[in-house]
Structure 1
Amino acid sequence: MTITRQDAWTQDEDLLLAEVVLRHIREGGTQLSAFEEVGRALTRTAAACGFRWNSYVRKQYQSGIELAKKQRKELRKQIGVHSVNMPNSMKQTASASSEGKRDLSIQDVIQFLEQFKETPSAQEFQLEREKLKEQIQSLQKELEDLRSENQTLRNQLEMTEEDYKALIDIMDRARKMVVSKEDGRMKKAAQET
């Protein structure tokens, strides 16, 4: 008699995991986001879902994975834009269109183009990068100047403390001399009387 684990995966859970992962592959999403989605649905961790996928389920769905990758490639060709530049809403629209669920409307295209226009270009990223580099260099120079100034102030403080100690020492010796002279006079005065 074999004992079944309490948290063992059922066929339905394996099927849900496979469907969600294949959908994410088709739509250009990540497997990690698929694992998180399945984890929420099954109250399991994303890591547990990922382990189950990689250790067991994926082997059973190799042809499905290849088909999903082909569909993703076809979808990208139909749109004519790389998935990296596509907003999520457009990916979903394009995915639905490729599956025959919905035709791509002119409004969808306009929305995509407006979102695409708002995304920063590589040149803007390069300019921003250069500005940040200059800012970093400026801050590093300022930090070096402040460190140098700090060291100078520490040296000055150390010298001032040494001078202060020397002054206190001189004052103590002078006080002792005055006290000893005073004592000497008092002794002399006491002897004379």
Structure 2
Amino acid sequence: MKIRQDAWSHEDDVLLAESVLTHIKEGSTQLKAFDEVGDALNRTSAACGFRWNAVVRQKHLKHIDQAKRERKERKRMLSSSYFPAFERPRQQTTYSFKREKAMNETISVDSIIEQLQQLSNQKMGNSDLQVENEKLRNDLQKVTSKLNELQHLVARNKQEHSMIEEDYQSLITIMNRARRMSILEDHADSQDDFRMETNGSLEKLDK
């Protein structure tokens, strides 16, 4: 049972390129090369075809042209060996061309199916990412709301602390005035006269 594998190593690409070029030189089809490489790497033929068309092929354009020239020369030599010039079947080349074209079209369909599957998986991944983003957005709103509550609580505590401080200062002022009034009463019968200022302090009067 062949399984799908996403990662391609450099050695895998080299094996794929060498196999395809060899089949081209020998007059075989790329589909057979994909089947051969798929068996060697435990991959599907469609995956090998997609890798060839999407990545590897662009790196070996010159080698492909050279392989096609060698295939053409090989066919010419074989035709010269088995058929006289006046008896060569003219339709054989056309038939081979049509067959190879049909094979390439099959490979293209397989490649399209592979691409659609990858796009479908990518969309599923994007959907999961959207769910995760929505969750993070909700968490951020909760944290922001909690922060606002804490800031409001701190502001209220500061206000209460300020009121307590004012009450404390007022109490100190009242206690100081009461103490000075007590001193003033203690000296009421003495010869010294005192006057209380508006701030609560006592001032001795000169006679």
Instruction: Name the TM-score, length of structure 2 as normaliser.
Output: 0.37
Q: Using CA pairs below 8 Å that are at least 6 residues apart, which structure has the higher relative contact order? A: 2
Larger Rg: 2
